Chain A
Amino acid sequence: MMKLLRIESQKVLSYRVFQILAILYAGAFLLSASVFPLIKLNTNLANNQDILNLKSLYNFPQIWDTFAYFAAKSNLFLAIIIIFLVGNEYSYNTFRQHVVNGLSRQDLLHGKLIVIVGIALVNTVMVFVFGMIFGLIYSSGFTFHDIYSHLYMLGIYFIQAVSHMIVAMMIAVWLRNKTLAIVVLLVYQVILEPILRLVLNKYVLAKVGLFFPMRVITRLTPMPDIAITEMIKANSDFKDFGATLPLWLNLLLALGYGLIFYLITKAILVRRNL
Chain B
Amino acid sequence: MSILETDGLDKSYGWVHAVNHLSLKVEAGQVYGILGPNGSGKTTTLSMLMGIVRPNGGTFRWFDGQHGPEANRRIGALIETPNFYPYLSLEQNLRIVCRIKGVDEKDIQRVIKLVGLYERQRSKFQTLSLGMKQRLALGSLLLGDPDVLVLDEVTNGLDPEGIAEVRSLIRQVASTGKTIILASHILDEVEKVCTHVVILKKGSKLAEGEVDNLIKGKEVVILAGEDNDLLGQALSDSSVIESFTKEGEEFKVILNPESKPGDLSKEIMEKGIVLTRLDIRKNRLEDQFLELVKQDNTPKP
Chain A residues with CB under 8 Å of chain B are: 3, 6-7, 10-11, 14-16, 88, 92-94, 96-104, 107, 271, 273-274
Task: Report the bound CA distance from A88 to B125 in whole Å.
Answer: 15
Q: Which residue of B lies closest to A105 (CB)?
A: B51
Complex partner residue of A7 from B69, B86, B96, CB under 8 angstroms: B96
As a 0/1 sequence over residues 74 to 87 of chain B, the CB contacts with chain A under 8 angstroms (1 = contact) are: 00010101011111
Contacts A10-B99, A11-B85, A11-B88 given; does A101 touch B52 at CB 8 Å: no
Q: Would you call B81 and A92 a contact (CB within 8 A)?
A: no
Known: A6-B99, A271-B54. 18 other contacts (CB 8 A): A3-B102, A10-B88, A10-B92, A10-B99, A11-B88, A92-B83, A93-B83, A94-B83, A100-B50, A100-B51, A101-B97, A101-B101, A102-B72, A103-B100, A104-B68, A104-B69, A107-B69, A273-B53
List residues of chain A with CB within 8 A of the CB of B72: 99-102
Task: Report the bound CA distance from A15 to B96 in whole Å.
Answer: 14
Q: Would you call B73 and A101 a contact (CB within 8 A)?
A: yes
Task: Report the bound CA distance from A102 to B141 in whole Å.
Answer: 12
The secondary-structure label for the interface of chain A is: helix
Min C-beta distance of A266 to chain B, whole Å: 15
Contacts A92-B86, A99-B52, A107-B69 given; does A7 touch B99 at CB 8 Å: yes
Task: Report the bound CA distance from A147 to B20 in whole Å.
Answer: 69
Q: Would you call B51 and A15 a contact (CB within 8 A)?
A: no
Task: Report the bound CA distance from A94 to B96 in whole Å.
Answer: 11
Complex partner residue of A96 from B52, B88, B92, CB under 8 angstroms: B52
Q: Is B70 an interface residue (CB 8 A)?
A: yes
Task: Report the bound CA distance from A97 to B101 in whole Å.
Answer: 12
Complex partner residue of B96 from A10, A16, A104, A273, CB under 8 angstroms: A10
Q: Would you call A98 and B88 a contact (CB within 8 A)?
A: no
Min C-beta distance of A96 to chain B, whole Å: 5
Task: Report the bound CA distance from A93 to B85 in whole Å.
Answer: 9
Q: Which residue of A lies closest to B100 (CB)?
A: A101
Query: 29 pairs across A/B with beta carbons < 8 Å?
Result: A7-B100, A10-B92, A10-B96, A11-B85, A11-B88, A14-B88, A15-B87, A16-B87, A88-B85, A92-B84, A93-B83, A94-B83, A94-B84, A96-B52, A96-B79, A96-B83, A99-B51, A99-B69, A100-B51, A100-B79, A101-B73, A101-B97, A102-B70, A102-B72, A103-B100, A104-B69, A271-B54, A273-B47, A273-B52
Min C-beta distance of B43 to chain A, whole Å: 12
**CB interface residues, B 90-136, toward A, < 8 Å:** 92, 95-97, 99-102
Band of interface residues on B:
20 to 34
Min C-beta distance of B25 to chain A, whole Å: 22
Chain B residues with CB under 8 Å of chain A are: 47, 50-54, 68-70, 72-73, 77, 79, 81, 83-88, 92, 95-97, 99-102
Q: Which 8 A-B pairs have the closest CB atoms?
A: A102-B73, A97-B83, A93-B83, A102-B72, A274-B52, A101-B100, A273-B53, A104-B69
Task: Report the bound CA distance from A3 to B97 in whole Å.
Answer: 11
List residues of chain B with CB within 8 A of the CB of A99: 50-52, 69, 72
Q: Would you call A100 and B77 a contact (CB within 8 A)?
A: yes
Q: Would you call A103 and B77 a contact (CB within 8 A)?
A: no
User: Which of B54, B77, B83, B84 counts the most chain A CB atoms within 10 A?
Assistant: B83
Q: Would you call B101 and A102 a contact (CB within 8 A)?
A: yes
Q: Which residue of A lies closest to B54 (CB)?
A: A273
Min C-beta distance of A217 to chain B, whole Å: 30
List residues of chain B with CB within 8 A of the CB of A11: 85, 88, 96
Q: Would you call A102 and B92 a contact (CB within 8 A)?
A: no
Task: Report the bound CA distance from A14 to B99 in whole Å.
Answer: 17
Contacts A14-B92, A273-B54 given; does A98 touch B84 at CB 8 Å: no
Min C-beta distance of B76 to chain A, whole Å: 9
Task: Report the bound CA distance from A209 to B70 in whole Å.
Answer: 47
Task: Report the bound CA distance from A271 to B100 in whole Å.
Answer: 21
Min C-beta distance of B9 to chain A, whole Å: 15
Contacts A7-B100, A10-B95, A96-B52 given; does A102 touch B69 at CB 8 Å: yes
List residues of chain B with CB within 8 A of the CB of A271: 54
List residues of chain B with CB within 8 A of the CB of A88: 85
List residues of chain B with CB within 8 A of the CB of A100: 50-52, 72, 77, 79
List residues of chain A with CB within 8 A of the CB of B50: 99-100
Q: Would you call A94 and B69 a contact (CB within 8 A)?
A: no
List residues of chain A with CB within 8 A of the CB of B101: 101-102
Q: Which residue of A lies closest to B137 (CB)?
A: A97
Task: Report the bound CA distance from A11 to B73 in whole Å.
Answer: 20
